[in-house]
């Protein structure tokens, strides 16, 4: 499965409706988007703690009402203003419904707002939540709704997390999969094959060297076969900044499939 990081931000502003539509056009399996809250409690798509880098405004999202946010414009990857506006989560859900799986990053910070939006649209099967909590912490916070949602624990191998945390989840909960930030090299790499045998997906990020054990997207521009590392190590979800190149490569190896 191919996950477009912040949607297809190389062709449109990150976390924009246009970037999401571009990702869908390319055939990605999932788009990852980031959430923030406005002054009047409306969820918008925004990665940073401020709007400075990605919009024509300044300050925190919580400094502004949604009407004020909508008066600003998104910037492209070069920092130039576009004519596009910051989307709300509701606008995005209406576009993605039935078309692509979405990973709502930072969503648990605003779960009381996110939950009714998904329930109203009957979209729990189309959304993935992730978090770094231990199983006990996750169960304490979300035990009442944990079986209604898709959830993926993040196992930070480079920070010393490993089999104990994995086993706690496998013993007590049907996870969608595990995300593994690997660090800059293979020092902390574990064997994913046994985990995958339990019908559990393995997610690794290819965006940067510090996440991918050095097997990052930019290196594949000169040598696409470097993406073989992921299938060779039993990874079946890749989050990428280059969805076009990754999908093209996977198709040549008969490894690409579309699954919501």
Q: What is the DSSP string of 102-149?
A: EEEETGGGGHHHHHHHHHHHT-GGGEEEEE---HHHHHHHHTTTGGGS
10 Å CB burial of residue 30 (0-12, 13-18, 19+) is buried
Question: Known catalytic residue: 150?
Answer: no
| Distance (Å) of CA 219 to CA 9, 65, 208, 222 | 19, 42, 10, 6
Start-to-end Cα distance in the chain: 9
**Strand, helix or coil at 164?**
helix
Q: CB count, 10 Å around CB of 120?
A: 10
CA 125 to CA 62: how far, in whole Å? Answer: 30
Distance, CA of 209 to CA of 218 (rounded, Å): 9
Q: Is 215 a catalytic residue?
A: no
Distance CA 176, CA 161 (A): 19
The residues that are catalytic are 5, 47
């Amino acid at each position: 499965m191919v996950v477009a990081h912040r949607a297809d931000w190389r062709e449109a502003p990150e976390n924009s409706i246009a970037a999401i539509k571009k990702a869908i056009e390319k055939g990605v399996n999932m788009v990852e988007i980031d959430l923030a809250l406005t002054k009047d409690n409306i969820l918008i798509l925004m990665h940073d703690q401020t709007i400075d880098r990605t919009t024509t405004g300044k300050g925190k999202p919580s400094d502004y009402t949604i009407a004020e946010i909508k008066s600003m414009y998104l910037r492209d990857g070069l920092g130039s203003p576009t004519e596009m506006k910051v989307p709300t989560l509701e606008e995005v859900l209406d576009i993605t419904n039935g078309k692509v799986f979405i990973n709502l990053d930072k969503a648990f910070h605003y779960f009381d707002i996110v939950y009714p939006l998904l329930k109203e649209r009957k979209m729990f099967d189309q959304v993935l939540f992730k978090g770094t909590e231990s199983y006990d912490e996750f169960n304490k916070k979300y035990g009442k709704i944990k079986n209604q949602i898709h959830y993926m624990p993040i196992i930070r191998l480079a920070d010393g997390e490993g089999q104990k945390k994995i086993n706690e989840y496998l013993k007590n909960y049907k996870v969608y999969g595990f995300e593994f930030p690997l660090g800059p090299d293979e020092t902390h790499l574990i064997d994913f094959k046994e985990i995958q045998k339990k019908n559990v997906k393995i997610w690794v990020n290819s965006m940067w060297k510090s996440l991918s054990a050095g097997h990052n997207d930019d290196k594949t521009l000169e040598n696409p076969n470097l993406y073989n590392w992921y299938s060779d190590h039993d990874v079946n979800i890749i989050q990428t900044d280059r969805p076009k190149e990754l999908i093209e490569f996977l198709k040549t190896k008969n490894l690409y499939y579309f699954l919501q």
